[in-house]
Every structure is written in structure tokens, then in C-alpha cells.
Amino acid sequence: MKLLSSIFFVASLLFLSAASADPLPTGFHVHEFNGKGDKVTTADGETTFQIFDKQCGKVIYDGRGENDCINGTVRAQAYYLPNATVGQTLEYKFDIWVDPSLQFQPVFTPDAQGYEPGGVQSQLRVLGWQGTFLHDSIYWLKLDATNGLTFEAQTCQPAKEFGQWVTFSMKVHWAGDNTGWVKVSCNDKVIYAKEDFASNRAPSCYIQNTCNSSVIKDTKEILVAAGLVSMGYGYSWKETGHTSPFLPIQKNGITLKMRNMSVTSGAVLYDDSDTGAVKDLQTELKTLGCYSGEASGEPDQPTRDAALSCKAFPDNALPTVFNVATLRTFVDLYKQADVATLPAGALPVPLPQPNIIVHASEMASNDEGPGIYNVEFIAHAEINQPKGVVGHKDADVPNQTYWSMMGRFIPKVAAFVDLQLIMADNLDKKTADAVSNCSVEITKFKDGTSHAILHATTGLKTYFIPHADCVIKALPPDAAFNVDMVTHHFQDIAIGLFTEGTIKSVTQPGLAAFLEKVARGTVSIRG
């Protein structure tokens, strides 16, 4: 894979300076792409970042002929050198103050559905971690007047607390394999954690997050940039129906302050307080007879298995994942006075490793009548396809697919009595006839478009889709890709829903339980 210089990476190779009252904190440099009217100044230990409407920079990025003015981006940022490298364990720490007069609002973006609540996300960013590939954003701390400061859709500071300082910390072990981890806290409260994964790649991938789900970006260097950046609509803003490439910024501009800005080595995932919480949990589990080891404070696999399976708590109160973010929930639950009277739990079958990485989420759902449930999904697959194969014809990124699941569904047992997969591609008459020859039903929507319906035969644990290979051969490459995904990679799709947390976008709890069975391999949908 050929490396391309990202915006941040190009800037990191330049020597930059700032005219400010005091020098920037050690290691930080003013970003060359900042607009002329935007400001980065330091005085009395506080660095102030200000951006104003349409005050963009005209420095060309890296040979693509684009700049912030063309893309509608407005920024006042400072980046840190040296870049982090894979293998390092660091803590990024900042005290942050947001002007309470902030008016900037989030926007609905379809591709953010399943990643951000309701598909509503902010285009205003405060901290960004960037790899060395083109469009290689890894993490963002976002800001808006409705949701406040958020990291991976988790609240760091609510908007009502703007005007107060908040301490943001991200501890991370940068890795390109499953040794990576990340722990994010605000005012010492853990709001996000992920363990045993490749931390040098974006955990939530969608196009508005400048992530390309069709390419695995195994970056070796990571740059952090602090400050303010309002991401515009891009160079194709006219084609997408916008009147300007810029998002509006209030008349008096947007002001953000930071202090105690630092990047330090030697971070740990489980600190002394976390280790003490693990000991408390191990003690409770030993008392209940679910754990035979020592109360060492080490979150080893026996401790994790015991915590997940010792007792069955009502209302699904027990977290489904054990990590440093959910640790204290486990402790609180197992310290309840009546915990010994609860029935024994069961350790869930672990998720298998997927054959391909798929980023999937629910787009829409509705009841079609008594017992009939219809849900539309979108998915992006990290898989190489022949040139020109991009999934559904309306897709904006390679390997994107849409389809609907429909049928009589019984939530109590989390199973379909019958199951239909309705493909989103409109088939012309010639293609529709060819698909019909495979003994597959063609239906016409009210808008006059024709679509293939794949009926699954229902067994105890298998939903088999006959004639799938015949249909794939009868379809053009983009539509064939869709059918191949749902008939040969449905388990990978389901695994992606759980590993990325987008199962939360599935609005029917029974269907979520059904998809978990598919992900764990106890139920299969296949052609």
C-alpha cells in the first residue's frame, strides 16, 4: 500500500513559529494551515485558540490542489512534535475551557448513523490524532453547543458546564496488532476504553470522519493536533447541494483555551485505583464461589470470565464487555446486598475473529404488521474488490452495501419464522429476468424500481439462502457484491456490529439478540 502524506503529517515536516505573547507549550508548533484571521496565542500559561467565519488558510496541502479555503475548513491549531510511533505508550493531557457563548451546532450525516447517536455529529474538533495516510483520522475530541465535548460519542463535558475547566486525558499504547489499548478520562472519570485491538486505526469508520473503510491503514506514526478546526463540506460542496463550503461560525468567533498541555510517556492502562477496584471485585467473586484465584488486582482472564458469568443480573444490568471503563460497574453490581440470591449466569460464547472486517449499522426500521419486522442496514467492508466494484450504486465509498431484513420475527425466542433479505439495487429488465431464472423473487417498489428478494429456508440453527451463487453470476459486479456480502459474509457483518458497538443502533432488542447469535456462530445465515 502506498503511503500518502496527510494534512497533519505534511505540516509536521515544516518548521513553524508563532508570534505570541509567550511561546507555546514545549513541543507544540502553530499549524501552517491556520487561517490569517484565526489566532493561536499563549499568555500566563494559557493557550487561546480562536476561529472566525470563513477565515481559512490558502496553503496547498500536498499536491492534490486542495487547501482549507477550497474545502471550507477553518482552523486555529497547534501540533506536537515529535510524532508518536507504534510501540509507544503515552498520555496526552490537556485542561480545556470552552467559551459558554458557543453556538456551533451538530449536523445530521447519514454515514454517521450507528456511530454517533441518531447520525448527528459535530464538524467542530478540539483534539485530533492523525496517521500518515491520506484521510487517516484515528480519534477526535469533538465540540458543539448541544452535546458538549465528546469522544467516540461519549460525553467528556456537557454543554451546560462550558465556562468551567475540564481535564482531558487519553492514555494509549499505540499498536498495529491486538496489543493496543486506549483509555480516555475527563476529570479522572473514564468515559471510553478499548483493549486488545489495533489502536493505530480508527475504531469508528465513516466518510464524514475522513475514514476510508475499504483500506486498512496500518500507520506507523501518529500526530496530535490541538485547538479548533471546523470541517467544511469539502471541494464538492456544490454537488452536494450546499450554498457554501463553510459551516457558519458565530459573528464573534469561537474561543477555546488550553493549559497544562503535555504529551508524556509511561502511561498505564490499569492505575493504582483501577487495581484496587479489581481486588475488590476478585474478593466479591471469591465470596460467591465463582473465582478461585488470589485477589491480586490483576485483571486476568479467569477474573474477566468470572465477572461476566458469575450471576445473572436483571434488566441486562451486567456489562457485556469487561474493561477498565466497565470495571466499576462490575464492582458495584457484585457488592449489592442480595447478589448471592441471584441465579447463576453463563459465560457467552466468545466472538470469533472475522474473515473480513465489516463496519455495519442499522439505517432504519419499522413494523410492517403483526409480527413483521423490517430493518435496513448499511455496511462497509475492508476487502479488495476489482476496479469499479463499489457495492450499491449510490455508495460514496468502495465496498459499501445496503439491504433490508424482513420477515415474521418472534422477539421472545429471538428468531425468524421466515426471513427475507431484500437487496437495495434497482435491477433493469434484462438483469431482473436473469435473476428470475435463478428461481428468485423480483419485487417492484412503489417508485417503480425492481429488487431481488432472497428467501431463506429456516432450520433450527441455519437460515439457508438457495440459489445465491446463481444470483451473483446473473448480476453486474456492484449488485453481485451486495448479494455476496449477505450470503457469504453475514457473520462478519454481525461481528462488526458487536466489536464496534454499533449493535446499539439496532432498535429491536430481540433482533439484536438474534444478531448476537449470528456473530457468535450459534446461528448462521448463508448461501
pLDDT at 9: 40
Fold of domain 7-265: Jelly Rolls (2.60.120)
Find which of 86-100, 336-350, 352-366 is predicted with most confidence, using mean pLDDT. 86-100
**Segment 184-226, tens digit of pLDDT:** 999 999 999 988 888 998 876 666 566 665 566 889 999 999 9
pLDDT at 214: 53
Instruction: Collect all residues with Cβ–Cβ distance below 8 Å to 336 and sequence separation of at least 6.
Output: none
| Contact indicator for 493, 358 with CB cutoff of 8 Å | yes
Instruction: Collect all residues with Cβ–Cβ distance below 8 Å to 276 and sequence separation of at least 6.
Output: 297
Q: Is the pLDDT of residue 68 over 60?
A: yes
pLDDT at 175: 95
Q: How confident is the model at residue 17 (pLDDT cuts 50, 70, 90)?
A: very low
Grid coordinates 448513523 are at which residue?
Answer: 113
> Please, what is the average pLDDT of the chain?
87
pLDDT at 4: 37
Q: What is the mean predicted confidence (pLDDT) over 347-368?
A: 81
Instruction: Collect all residues with Cβ–Cβ distance below 8 Å to 2 and sequence separation of at least 6.
Output: none
Rounded to a whole number of angstroms, the CA Rg of the chain reads: 25
Grid coordinates 464492582 are at which residue?
Answer: 331
Q: Is the pLDDT of residue 156 over 60?
A: yes
Q: Is the Cα torsion angle 306, 307, 311, 315 positive or negative in sign?
A: negative
pLDDT at 215: 64
Total-model pTM:
0.72
Q: Is the pLDDT of residue 273 over 80?
A: yes
Domain ranges of the chain: 7-265, 272-341, 357-526
d(CA 139, CA 157): 17
Q: What is the mean predicted confidence (pLDDT) over 380-389?
A: 71
Coil, helix or strand for 414?
A: coil
Distances (CA, A) of 318 to 59, 118, 142, 328, 494: 51, 25, 29, 11, 21
